[in-house]
Amino acid sequence: MNRALPAGFGIGLAAGGTLRVAFGSNWFLVAATVALYAGWGYFAVAYRRLLVSEFPAFDRSTDRLGYGIGLFGLGVGPVAVSQQFTTGDVSLQFFVAYLGVVGFLLTSSAAAAESERDAG
């Protein structure tokens, strides 16, 4: 069984849960953060060499799922952050969400390069 997907969800739930518990973030921001960190976590676990090693073309269905989850977070993240801006309470929450965006983009693009090397 592919362990990267459950591990990715675990990482995402931990990041989102932390935002919710520590800051009382709205559920929209929590969902975006969970999706971003789940995508990031998936690729970091599935391709362990990523963190030291750029647009993805994933052939395996599990990779597509991890990429899709992360893209969902990228899509709703800006809206969630803007909603949080209107309440005037962003502080560390914005940084955590932004870190998820950067992490997901770096690991997913590196995973694409890694899978191309494995196939070639």
Q: Per residue in 89-111, pLDDT tens?
A: 666 777 777 788 888 888 887 87
Distance CA 63, CA 115 (A): 10
pTM (predicted TM-score): 0.55
Residue given tokens 């940084």 in the structure block: 95
Q: What letter represents residue 72's amino acid?
A: F
Q: What letter represents residue 50's amino acid?
A: L
Distance CA 103, CA 75 (A): 15
User: Residues 49-54: what's their mean pLDDT?
Assistant: 57
Q: What is the mean pLDDT of the chain?
A: 78
Domain boundaries, the chain: 4-119
